[in-house]
Structure 1
Amino acid sequence: MLGIVKGANATLMFFLELGVLASVGYWGFTLSAAWWIKLLAGVGAPALFIAAWALFGAGGGANATFPLTGLARAALEILWFGGGAAALYASGLVTPAVVFFAVFVVNAVLRIVWKQV
């Protein structure tokens, strides 16, 4: 049974990662600016997040170009998922931002307890 719950927690992490990209893209497209700036931010911001994750965090670090561990990995995750929550907040979606970050915190704590990091 615990194996199923651990698998669900790993799956949740994947969906949280996708949520970060969706949040940052949404933020970009909701800027009150010219259409080309919205387009640049809506596509460019997720691209920057993807690049950062690919370089330092992909696959729990196993697939990353420069894998981070320990406190550096924790800082990366806080910045990555916090960035997604901040993007939701900046878009005016305060409650979803708080819920998103809270779900990340619970997911992270469970990954540490179950040694899924």
Structure 2
Amino acid sequence: MNKKINSLALHRTRANISLNDVAYLLNIDTSNLSRIEKGIRKPNVRIILLYHILFDAPLINLFGEQFNTLKEKLIGRSRKLIAQLETEQPPKSKNRIAYMNRFVKYLNESVYDE
């Protein structure tokens, strides 16, 4: 089972709410929700957002590995852009480089490493 699926079930059980109740609130079949929580089916963005709303679950936590993969790709692309701007020195590049450096630092902070 992947972390995201475990997280969905964990948030529901911590709130002491039955699978049937959550399925009703989400307007989906209980057996489908059970498959999602067990990792048999992947949750769509709607399900993830609804768990976020229902259980105040952090989106970063709910998206799990998908989030980490996108974050790493964005950091890599940002570093390439910084190198390109430093080489080409277009007008206003100092502001753009400073922004990108702050952005990369922000992404690397532990706030995303829960």
Kindly indicate whether structure 1 or structure 2 has the higher relative contact order, using CA contacts under 8 Å at least 6 residues apart.
1
Per the normalisation by structure 1, the TM-score is: 0.31
Please say which structure displays the higher CA radius of gyration. 2
